Structure 1
């Protein structure tokens, strides 16, 4: 728990916005968005920490991209 709270305090000290969520039964996720990146940091009940980073390619797309995304990721 100390590592979890220390991490949140460090984010707050640096004025980095975060959101807490729970996706897996055994973890709490901290979701962070910074320019050009999004991070998911999960604190597991066994004490491990998993970090996944999503990096932007810097590209911007027009409205047509919505149809492509919905078609590609629909069930």
Structure 2
């Protein structure tokens, strides 16, 4: 485990490389994505009975027969 002086030097180098503005926007973006993930997980738990799967079976009422009469 690094000591406190080593951690402070590491933080100072990171701030010098990226800048405070970039780190601030990175932190806010990370926080927003975590909030969105938690909200999505909560919404999934609230409605477990909804079925969002695709239904690929065609109902019989949509079947249209074509007339293939040929003139002779």
**TM score, norm. by length of structure 2:** 0.26
Structure richer in helix, relative to its length: 2
Structure richer in strand, relative to its length: 1
